[in-house]
């Protein structure tokens, strides 16, 4: 079996000291360009792969970022495109930064202790917490332990935690105003869970438009899943069979529904950039877009 090339062999091939070779391999810019080129050429010729554990001891960095969803696996890996978009955006940005992504789920019981142990033992350089419910304690716990944290969605408790959010109020307002302008008079909503900021904000946007246009609010609450939407719709029709429009806080259906497009991939990218650059703590709220489809084109 061929012996694994060592840093000493890289240094010898490049004609530099081991310390200089180590600085190049660990990304230092305080090395002359021609020397850096010689070391990188030796690395390629020998097929040298840095020992990540040893490298971490030198740099005091794990070169990994954790993306945490306080959701069960069945929810994250369902047909809801929100999770896939966020994961894709974070992955793209993390890959470009030559880091590793660690996906963690805390599950329905909020077992955040496992994530806390992992993050505070030096396995990651930062944590992104998305899809938070209520007063999730994890971001605050990790921050107090010195771990950089960024939140996907505005935290429900005011504070100085950096976050990237969607314009959920504005998106809901545009969707409901579209229905009002189409002449709809009995507009119901299937609201999202009221322990999540996205659910709270979308319901607020719905109510704001109806209040301004002298319409009555008709509300059933779901949890952003297809199953809860079906239950809520049956409830709405049983209570008021004369409904002529529904604003759903989340959509998975055929034929294509008029919807509010959320830039979930861009949200993932912004979250990753923010956790990679802890000094960038200014909150970001991304715009949404109303997309008119078959469900509201006919009167």
* pLDDT above 70 (res 198): yes
Question: Residue 202, CB half-sphere, CA atoms under 13 Å: how many?
Answer: 31
Over residues 154-182, mean pLDDT: 92
CB count in 10 Å sphere of residue 146: 8
**CA atoms of 278 and 149, how far apart (whole Å):** 8
Q: Do domains 7-59 and 64-166+263-288 have the same CATH topology?
A: no
Whether the bond into 271 is cis, omega within 30 of 0: no
**CA atoms of 61 and 64, how far apart (whole Å):** 8
**CA atoms of 188 and 216, how far apart (whole Å):** 9
**CA atoms of 201 and 154, how far apart (whole Å):** 10
Q: Which residues contact 288 (CB under 8 A, 6 or more apart)?
A: 166, 167, 168, 170, 171, 174, 260, 261, 262, 263
Over residues 31-55, mean pLDDT: 82
Mean of the per-residue pLDDT values for the chain?
A: 88
* pLDDT above 60 (res 299): no
User: What pLDDT score was predicted for residue 54?
Assistant: 55
* pLDDT above 90 (res 19): no
User: Domain boundaries in the chain?
Assistant: 7-59, 64-166+263-288, 168-262+292-297
Fold of 168-262+292-297: Rossmann fold (3.40.50)
User: What pLDDT score was predicted for residue 108?
Assistant: 58
User: What pLDDT score was predicted for residue 51?
Assistant: 65
Reported in sequence order, the residue ranges of the chain that DSSP labels E, i.e. its strands, are 64-69, 100-105, 126-130, 149-152, 163-166, 187-191, 218-221, 245-248, 259-261, 284-286, 289-291
Nearest to 56 by CA among 68, 46, 64: 64
Q: Which residues pair with 221 in a beta bridge?
A: 191
Nearest to 26 by CA among 57, 2, 68, 64: 57
CB count in 10 Å sphere of residue 34: 7
Condensed to tens digits (0 to 9), the pLDDT of residues 88-102 reads 999 999 988 888 999
Question: Where residue 264 falls among pLDDT bands split at 50, 70, 90?
Answer: very high
User: What pLDDT score was predicted for residue 280?
Assistant: 81
Nearest to 24 by CA among 5, 4, 44: 44
* pLDDT above 80 (res 84): yes
**pTM exceeds 0.85 for this model:** no
Say which range, 99-113, 148-162, 182-196, 268-282, has the weakest mean pLDDT.
99-113
**CA atoms of 220 and 232, how far apart (whole Å):** 6
For 64-166+263-288, CATH gives: 3.40.50.2300
Spacing of C-alpha 24 from chain mean position: 33
Q: What is the percentage of the chain residues whose pLDDT exceeds 90?
A: 55
Q: Which residues contact 50 (CB under 8 A, 6 or more apart)?
A: 7, 25, 26
Hey, which CATH number is domain 7-59, 1.10.287.610, 2.60.290.11, 3.40.50.1170, 1.10.260.40?
Answer: 1.10.260.40
**CA atoms of 136 and 28, how far apart (whole Å):** 38
* pLDDT above 70 (res 298): no
């Amino acid at each position: 079996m061929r012996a694994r090339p060592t840093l000493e062999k890289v240094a010898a091939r490049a004609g530099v000291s081991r310390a200089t070779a180590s600085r190049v391999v660990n990304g230092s810019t305080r090395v002359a360009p021609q020397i850096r080129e010689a070391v990188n050429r030796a690395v390629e010729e020998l097929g040298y792969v840095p020992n990540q554990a040893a490298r971490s001891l030198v740099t005091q960095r794990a070169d990994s970022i954790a993306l945490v969803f306080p959701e069960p696996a069945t929810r994250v890996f369902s047909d809801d495109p929100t999770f896939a978009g966020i994961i894709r955006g974070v992955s793209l940005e993390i890959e470009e930064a030559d880091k590793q992504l660690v996906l963690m789920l805390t599950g329905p019981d909020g077992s955040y202790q496992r994530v806390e142990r992992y993050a505070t033992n030096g396995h990651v350089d930062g944590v992104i917490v998305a899809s938070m419910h209520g007063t999730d304690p994890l971001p605050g716990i990790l921050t107090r332990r010195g771990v950089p944290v960024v939140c996907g969605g505005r935290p429900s408790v005011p504070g100085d935690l950096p976050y990237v959010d969607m314009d959920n109020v504005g998106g809901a307002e545009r969707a409901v105003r579209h229905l009002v302008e189409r002449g709809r008079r009995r507009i119901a909503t299937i609201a999202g869970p009221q322990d999540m900021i996205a659910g709270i904000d979308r319901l607020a946007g719905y109510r704001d438009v109806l209040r301004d246009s002298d319409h009555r609010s008709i509300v059933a609450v779901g949890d952003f899943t297809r199953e809860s939407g079906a239950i809520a719709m049956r409830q709405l029709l049983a209570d008021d069979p004369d409904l002529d429009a529904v604003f759903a806080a989340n959509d998975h259906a055929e034929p294509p529904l008029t919807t509010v497009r959320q830039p979930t991939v861009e949200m993932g990218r912004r979250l990753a950039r923010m956790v990679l650059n802890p000094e960038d703590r200014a909150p970001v709220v991304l715009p949404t877009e109303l997309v008119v489809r078959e469900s509201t084109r006919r009167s």
